[in-house]
Amino acid sequence: MNNQIHLDTERKSNIGFLFFYLLVLLFSFVSPFLSFMFFTILILYTKNYNFLYAIPISLTFFFMVVNFNRDFFHFGNDLVWYYSYFKNFADYQSGFFSSFGNDDLADVSLKFSEPFYHLLVYLSSKLTNGYYPFYLFWVHCFIYLIPTFVIISICKLERVSILVCFSLVLFQMLVFYDFGNAYNLIRQQVASSLMIICFYFMYVKNIKLCILFSVLAVLTHNSTIIVVALILLFCLYNLKYISYKYVVWLSCMLSLFYVIAYFKINDNYENLNDKSRGVFVQLIDLSLFILSMVIVFFYDPKYRNVYRFLLIFFIALSFSYASSFLPLRFLTFYDSFKWLVYFILLNYISSRLSRYKYSDYFILFSSTFLAFTYFNLKLTYTDYTYNGTFFDFALDSPIFYLGINL
């Protein structure tokens, strides 16, 4: 009897949260930044993890508002290509599979080896008759919601303070993903989100689903193959099938082979200058990576395996510097996992300050200030034109852009 009462209560609670998130979507669609502020206050008051998922939803709608005010079609921006074949798919009558190798469909031919992303574009174009704002909507959701939902899920598993988890979400959304280069890297960022799902299933030791999303990631962007290989290797280590020394050795061999294969296949690749990360920013990343190593190996070993995963990722990143192009790929992948460094750092700071009653509030408020300041700097100094700063978009609404098609 008691079990039945408990199940009925849990079912009602789940239905209640479903309606709550439908309201979140509605509120975020009307006024995303006010929605963010409201749910921030609600989280501070309740300390309920279930409300935390509302934050990335609100911010994702806010990013869409910001990007609707951007100079989309800029020289050197791949969005022109993404735009053209999304629109062309709406009237394309020959079927999805015949689109590969069809130069009339887009400026660049679709690759047979990367069908998953193109399938998503094909279906969304057919369903909406080429309504481009919907394309931007699902791309934003894929890029931003999946990684942040994984962060929240892992923080819940590890019983991390909700305010520390909130800080990680803000860093992931406002700092780690770059607005300036974002639309040159749509397929890669979609693939990165699939890699984050792989990482999650590796983390919870579900190798079957880890393999499934690894395959989808590679079929979305072939360059993910080395990263998903590292994730699968670490999955075997987590399941105690192989030792960590073997993981490190094999990571070196795989990275070397990947770089050699790159030069064999892509000997005519252009030299790209990654304007989103200068030497200074990369040195900060490296310094924080080393600091997290000091913490887990000398002061707080709780998340040592998290650091071990980051270490093999850095091995692959180091090998990529043999090329002038590959670091751009790998640093973008690293953006998807950079929160793990902060996961170690912020949890350590929180544990050291635990004697102080409001220490986690201090962490959150400091993170909020830093994240929004950095985000505003990105809007101001990126090569792409935004019609205003962060403050100009705070009261903007997606409703204003209904019916607009680019």
**184 bridge partner residues:** none
Q: What is the pLDDT of residue 18?
A: 75
Task: Give the CA radius of gyration of the chain.
Answer: 22
User: Quick one: DSSP state of residue 63?
Assistant: H
pLDDT tens-place string over residues 273-284: 555 566 777 888
**70 bridge partner residues:** 386
Quote the mean pLDDT of the chain. Answer: 85
Return d(Cα 116, Cα 318) in angstroms, integer: 29
Residue 108, φ and ψ in degrees, nearest 5: -120, 135
% the chain with pLDDT above 90: 42
Q: What is the pLDDT of residue 164?
A: 95
Return d(Cα 286, Cα 158) in angstroms, integer: 25
Q: What is the pLDDT of residue 247?
A: 94
pLDDT tens-place string over residues 71-109: 766 655 677 778 888 888 888 887 778 877 776 777 777
What is the band of 307 on the pLDDT scale with cuts at 50, 70, 90? very high
Q: Kindly tell me if the per-residue pLDDT of 5 is higher than 60.
A: no
More confident residue, 384 or 201: 201
Q: What is the pLDDT of residue 113?
A: 85
* Region of residue 359 (left: phi > 0; alpha: psi -120 to 50; beta: else): alpha
pLDDT tens-place string over residues 109-118: 788 888 999 8
User: Quick one: DSSP state of residue 176?
Assistant: I
Q: Which residues contact 203 (CB under 8 A, 6 or more apart)?
A: 154, 157, 238
Angle at which helices 162-171 and 339-352 cross, to 10°: 150
b/e string for 26-65 if b means 16 or more Cβ within 10 A?
ebbbebbbbbbebbbeebeeeeebbbbbbbbbbbbbbbbb
Q: What is the pLDDT of residue 103?
A: 66
Report which of 382, 372, 368, 389 is spatially closest to residue 66, judged by C-alpha positions: 389
CA 337 to chain centre: 8
Of the ranges 110-114, 123-127, 176-180, 397-401, which one carries the lowest mean pLDDT score? Answer: 176-180
More confident residue, 111 or 146: 146
Residue matched to tokens 């080395």 = 226
Report which of 259, 254, 219 is spatially closest to residue 118, judged by C-alpha positions: 219
More confident residue, 186 or 74: 186
Of the ranges 41-55, 156-170, 265-279, which one carries the lowest mean pLDDT score? Answer: 265-279
Q: What is the pLDDT of residue 171?
A: 92
